Amino acid sequence: METTFLSVARILLVYILIVGLIFLGLVMLARAWAAARQMRTRWRGLTAAVGGLYVLAALVFVVRPGLAAAPAALALAGSLMLGIGLGRVRRLNLREPELALLFILPAVVGIFLFYYYQIAQTLIYSLHTLEYTTAWSSETFIGLRNYISVWNSPNFRAALGYTLYFTGVAVFFEFWIGLGMAMTTFWVGGRLAGVLRSIIIIPWAIPPIISAAIWKWFFNADVGLDSLLVQWGVLEKVPIFLVDPILARHAVIVADIWKMSSMIAILMIGGLAIIPQDIYDAAKVDGARGFYRFRRITLPLLTPTIAVALLFRGMDAIRTFDLIYGLTRGGPGVSTETLSSLAYKFYFSRAQFGLGSAYGVVVFLIVLLLGVFYVSRIRKNLRFKGA
Amino acid sequence: MKSWLQRNAKRIDRTLALLTTIVITLFCLIPLFWVFSTSLKPMGSEYLIPIQLWPEEPTLNAYRNVIDELGFLTPLGNSFLVSLSTAILCLVVSATAAYAVARLRFQFKVQSLVLLQLGAMIPPVVTIAPTFVLLKEIGLLKSLPAMVIPNVFYSVPLATWLLASYFAELPFELEDAAKVDGYRPFQIFLRVILPLSLPGMFAAGMFAFIGSYGEFMLASVVTLGIKDVQTIPVAIQNFSFAFRQQWTWISAGVVLAILPVITIVLIFQRWVIRGLTAGSVKY
């Protein structure tokens, strides 16, 4: 316990130190650049070169973290000298943009470290034969051969097919059920709406792997939903949800729909809440009926929310892992394997990090495709004025 | 002469709305009810046919077993420790970032936000192997901080966005007044903006808490085989494989595991909706 505490304290200190040094270097460099702009080209060139050192340090860090210290120290020293010499910085009175940099840097450095640096690593892994090791620098570089063997593997095609089928079917039903749920909260209105909202949120809050356990019990072959349906005389013979490949594929989808319709419903409640009520009142005066109102007013005004919700949920569904792992482990056979669950198996069951990374990169590329649409949709929401 | 339908339109509408509400309630709660009722059954009776929807003699034996013999309180405690520290650290990092985004003027603002949000889209399966290596290299493997530190940054994008949209709503006169009073910029953030944004902070913290409470992939790799540092999702997963027939026990574990999150979410219900829609809907 004590050693854990100490190691955490050490890591925090190192993190603060790194962020602080990056901040100091960037501020000094920025001030030197502002001064150099009015000076001779030689100074400008030197300042730009020091700026280039930062990029170099970042690149070296991706490839050989140990060697990055040298260019980083050089960049820092250069910025300090230029800042003091050219920018004539004697005291650091922070201006507003510099203050903003200081405030945002801890988040940005961490995001780089835990997302962008990692994805660069995975890309590099995927170009090597890595088995039982991730020290790629001492392993053979094989170019795109991992991707080729991924593409030729029947398991990959099956998993890709199921991932896309899963995403399509699940998101379709989640959308309509979620929209229905959201509209019902406005329909019942009053105090009941609050109760209903609370109930809708509950499935969303349950951790995915636990919801997988719940559904595993619900689909239990002997005394689950299937036997219950037989007991009530709905079905004649017992279907075995998680054993038959086709049933298993759809059982997983049902479990996902149960949990994630809530998510769509929450997004839609938010979207419906900002549709001004007077539009509906006006429509009522004009004699517009229920379904007509829905098609001509609700849907068009909700379109931005719907687009964002579908993209958001789609990106999430493509990378589904927990539910599969907890419910079927990809079985029976490989019939419910998604790309993510296959990648995980390659990493941690077979220790084939190179191949696993190639699978991971494929998931990433598909998500990225949707992500580009997503970001272009939400971009206008990212505009914050600032004081 | 109005038809019966037209005369009773209001009442029919109301009845239909109530019926839909009931259907939705059943849809959301039946799997949970099923697990809850199983957890109250005496051991072994969960396999009796015909299936009992509610046990004839409810008992808390399964809970006793899970807590006393399987030591379920350890992962529960671990999960709380991990999620709470994640939430607090995440708030520190993202509140400052959100303040910069929402209240300060600087170049590349949209770009840095896009950077954050694009990062959040990167699927965990792409980053898990290098993250594992990184954690191993800094000597954190098989300890709780190994889950906390990555989880902090997994929750930062959403928290930053949520908080930024909250900060942006506060009137800008606040800063002017504080400047007149001689507050330094950091004091403005700490003494003016933060106290006014406590609800938003709670909401952002709750998202970080729930996210890391349910995080499974990283936890499963980091805690491999070490019982002392297992979190709830890993423990449940291991339970359901180790005692695959004892569903009264697993159900009791599941109920214990989801009670805290459900309580938290119900308390912050309004904020869940707001927080999730912060990205898609502009208030």
For position A109, what pLDDT does the model report? 92
pLDDT in tens, B221-271: 888 778 888 899 999 888 877 777 788 888 999 999 999 999 988 888 877
pLDDT grade for B6, boundaries at 50, 70 and 90: confident
Could you check whether the bond before residue A300 is cis, i.e. omega within 30 degrees of 0? no
B57 falls within a domain:
yes
Q: Which two tokens stand for residue A318?
A: 């493509």
B282 falls within a domain:
no
Same domain, A196 and A116: no
pLDDT in tens, B35-88: 999 889 888 777 777 777 788 888 888 888 888 888 889 999 999 999 999 999
Same domain, B230 and B102: yes
Domain that holds residue A375: 146-382
Axis crossing angle, helix A96-111 with helix B73-103, rounded to the nearest 10: 150
CB-based contact A210 B210, cutoff 8 Å: no
B283 falls within a domain:
no
Q: What is the mean pLDDT of residues A343-372?
A: 88
Number of C-beta neighbours around residue B281 at 10 A: 24
A280 falls within a domain:
yes
pLDDT grade for B1, boundaries at 50, 70 and 90: low
For position B80, what pLDDT does the model report? 92
A215 falls within a domain:
yes
Q: Would the pLDDT of A171 be above 90?
A: yes
Number of C-beta neighbours around residue A77 at 10 A: 13
Mean pLDDT score of chain A, rounded to an integer?
Answer: 85
* Closest by Cα among B135, B116, B276, B188 to A107: B116
Same domain, B104 and B40: no
For position B280, what pLDDT does the model report? 53
Q: CB distance from B271 to chain A under 8 Å?
A: no
Provide the chain B residues 59-118 that lie in CB contact (below 8 A) with chain A: 92-94, 96-97, 99-107, 109-110, 112-118
Provide the chain A residues 104-133 that lie in CB contact (below 8 A) with chain B: 104, 106-108, 110-111, 113-119, 121-122, 125
Same domain, A167 and A83: no
Q: Closest Cα of chain B to A78: distance in Å?
A: 23
B156 falls within a domain:
yes
Same domain, A221 and A271: yes
Q: CB distance from A16 to chain B under 8 Å?
A: no
A8 falls within a domain:
yes
Give the residue with greater pLDDT, B29 vs B175. B29
Cβ proximity of B197 and B170 under 8 Å: yes
Which of B61, B83, B99 is the last residue before a domain boundary?
B61
Same domain, A306 and A353: yes
Which of B20, B41, B61 is the last residue before a domain boundary?
B61
Give the residue with greater pLDDT, A96 vs A200. A200
Q: What is the mean pLDDT of residues B93-119?
A: 87
CB-based burial of residue A90 (10 Å sphere; 0-12 exposed, 13-18 middle, 19+ buried)? Answer: exposed
B18 falls within a domain:
yes
Same domain, B119 and B193: yes
Q: Tell me, what amino acid is at B91?
A: L
Same domain, B31 and B95: no
Q: Highest-confidence range of A225-234, B86-95, B97-106, by mean pLDDT?
A: B86-95
Give me the number of domains chain B comprises.
2
Provide, rounded to the nearest whole percent, the portion of chain B with pLDDT above 90. 26
A140 falls within a domain:
no
For position A172, what pLDDT does the model report? 96
For A206-224, b/e burial (b = at least 16 CB within 10 A) is bbbbbbbbbbbbbbbeebb
Give the residue with greater pLDDT, A378 vs A264. A264
pLDDT in tens, A1-53: 667 778 788 888 999 999 999 999 998 888 888 888 887 777 888 888 888 88
Give me the number of domains chain A comprises.
2
Q: Would the pLDDT of B283 be above 60?
A: no
Same domain, B80 and B126: yes
pLDDT in tens, A276-307: 878 877 877 777 777 787 888 888 888 888 88
- List the CATH number of the domain containing A329: 1.10.3720.10
Could you tell me which residues come within 8 angstroms of residue B170 by beta carbon, excluding any fewer than 6 positions away?
B193, B196, B197
Q: Report helix, strand and coil shares of chain A as percent, to nearest 5.
A: 80, 0, 20
Q: Which two tokens stand for residue A114?
A: 């835990």
Same domain, B23 and B99: no
Find the range with the poorest average confidence among A40-44, A257-261, A366-370, B11-15.
A40-44
Same domain, A222 and A344: yes
Same domain, A180 and A111: no
Domain that holds residue B202: 65-277
CB-based contact A188 B21, cutoff 8 Å: yes
CA distance A261 to B91: 28
B128 falls within a domain:
yes
CA distance A313 to A317: 6
For position A168, what pLDDT does the model report? 95
Which of B61, B76, B100 is the last residue before a domain boundary?
B61
Q: Which two tokens stand for residue B204?
A: 């952002």
Give the residue with greater pLDDT, A311 vs A177. A177
Same domain, B91 and B172: yes
Provide, rounded to the nearest whole percent, the portion of chain A with pLDDT above 90. 28
A57 falls within a domain:
yes
Give the residue with greater pLDDT, B277 vs B80. B80
CB-based contact B276 A270, cutoff 8 Å: yes
For B243, half-sphere exposure in the C-beta direction (CA atoms, 13 angstrom radius) is 18
Provide, rounded to the nearest whole percent, the portion of chain B with pLDDT above 70. 96
- List the CATH number of the domain containing B166: 1.10.3720.10
pLDDT in tens, A240-282: 777 788 888 999 999 999 999 998 998 888 888 888 878 877 8
For position A2, what pLDDT does the model report? 65
Tell me the ipTM for this assembly: 0.88
